[in-house]
Amino acid sequence: MKVIFDTDPGVDDAMALYYALAHPSIEVVGITTVFGNVTVTQATANALYLCGLTQCDAIPVAAGAARPLHKTPEAPPAHIHGSDGLGNLPQRDSVIGFAVEKDAADFLIAQVRANPHAITLVAVGPLTNLATALARDTTWAALVQRVVIMGGAVSVPGNVTATAEANIWNDPHAAQLVFEAPWQVDVVSLDVTHQVIMPAQLFERLAQRQPHAAMQTLNHAVQFYARYYSQRHADTVGKMHGCFGHDVLAFMALTDPALFQTLDTRLGVTTAGPEEGRTVQLTEGPARHTIYTSVDSAGCVKAFEATLAANWLG
């Protein structure tokens, strides 16, 4: 599977990226960055850094949107991901990388046009880059093979407000455009990501097993992130000290579909008012969205560890 990863790294984004790089059936052919967990400048620096650490610096990284389409941007959640997006790393190795000249939307258009019906988009941040590409090229959507997003909360509460999940909350207008576009979207939402708790110890094990800068970096970031989640969800996540894997489940939906149950439906987004950012099931129109309704949590954790523990770092 050739994938372009649209991301705001971000700790769970880093987890997802390393899962994708480690997985034999995924080829990451590009990364596009977006504001969200951090500024887009920091997200781009993090994507380049994470790729550099794994000697995957040949993967092109294109910088994307710095702010939502319409709403007033909010400060990044430094208390969740650290002010650098990677759990406040004490230092960084000297890994140098540069983003490509094209911005994210132009990069997405060019790559998909050069590889029609061959590229899957995995988008795990605010959907601003995808919405911008849809606006710039109105026939582009039909050439994308598949779209998987991490975002939304369909039958469960949100994680920013009572009804809104962070990626949709950060740019509800972009999400609405992505849901309305003429393509099928797989929606990996909090309905399943809140069912999968990644134990913090798992990352310690991985880092001990592979004393490589990439795994040390991921472990450091996850330990920071797990402190936040263990406090916020003391009765569930806190009991085993861990965190939600959120973004990595978007890749697992591709690599391990048997771990999930899904439902074909149609979603819309509330773009204003007290329920701003809510993902709503619509009763009219063709079913163009596959929502993920339940997941084999233990199976996900096991598959994640097996993939990251394999010999992918050389």
Q: Which residue is nearest to ligand RIB (CB)?
A: 166
CB-count burial class (<10 Å; 0-12, 13-18, 19+) for 233: middle
Q: Write down the least CB distance from residue 187 to ligand RIB, Å.
A: 12
Tokens (6 digits) for 249: 């489940």
Q: Write down the least CB distance from residue 151 to Ca ion, Å.
A: 9
With respect to ligand RIB, which residue has the nearer C-beta, 46 or 54? Answer: 46
> Applying CB under 6 A, which part among 7-15, 100-108, 127-135, 213-221 lies near ligand RIB?
7-15
Relative orientation angle of helices 248-255 and 11-22, to the nearest 10 degrees: 30
Q: Which helix (H) or strand (E) holds 191?
A: helix 190-193
Tokens (6 digits) for 12: 């769970």
Single out the residue of 10, 68, 82, 126 in contact with Ca ion (rule: CB under 5 A): 10
Pairing of strands 260-265, 289-295: antiparallel
Angle 196-306-248 from CA coordinates, rounded to 5°: 40
CB-count burial class (<10 Å; 0-12, 13-18, 19+) for 191: buried
Angle 134-104-91 from CA coordinates, rounded to 5°: 145
Bridge-partner residues for 295, per DSSP? Answer: 260
With binding defined as CB under 6 A, does residue 186 bind ligand RIB?
no
Single out the residue of 6, 186, 247, 256 in contact with ligand RIB (rule: CB under 6 A): 247
Look up 70 and say whether it is catalytic: no
Instruction: Look at residue 140 and give its three-state secondary structure.
Output: coil
Within a 10 A sphere around the Cβ of 55, how many other Cβ atoms?
12
Distance CA 278, CA 271 (A): 8
**Residue 63 vs residues 32, 48, 55, 90, 250: alpha-carbon distances, Å:** 6, 10, 20, 25, 21
With binding defined as CB under 5 A, does residue 190 bind Ca ion?
no
Q: Binding to Ca ion (CB under 5 A): which residues in 109-138?
A: 124-125
Q: Binding to ligand RIB (CB under 6 A): which residues in 116-145?
A: 124-125
With respect to Ca ion, which residue has the nearer C-beta, 175 or 210? Answer: 175
With binding defined as CB under 6 A, does residue 171 bind ligand RIB?
no
> Applying CB under 6 A, which part among 95-103, 109-117, 159-167, 304-312 lies near ligand RIB?
159-167
With binding defined as CB under 5 A, does residue 13 bind Ca ion?
yes
Binding mask 243-272 for Ca ion (x = CB under 5 A): ----x-------------------------
Single out the residue of 220, 246, 278, 289 in contact with ligand RIB (rule: CB under 6 A): 246
Angle 209-307-244 from CA coordinates, rounded to 5°: 90
Instruction: Look at residue 137 and give its three-state secondary structure.
Output: coil
Q: Write down the least CB distance from residue 272 to ligand RIB, Å.
A: 20
Q: Write down the least CB distance from residue 249 to Ca ion, Å.
A: 11
Q: Which helix (H) or strand (E) holds 255?
A: helix 248-255
Check 81, 194, 220, 246 and give the catalytic one.
246
Single out the residue of 1, 3, 5, 12 in contact with ligand RIB (rule: CB under 6 A): 12
With binding defined as CB under 6 A, does residue 165 bind ligand RIB?
yes
Positions in the binding site for Ca ion (CB under 5 A): 8, 10, 13, 124-125, 247
Instruction: Name the residues annotated as catalytic.
Output: 246
Per CB under 6 A, residues contacting ligand RIB are 8, 10, 12-13, 36-37, 124-125, 150, 159, 165-167, 246-247
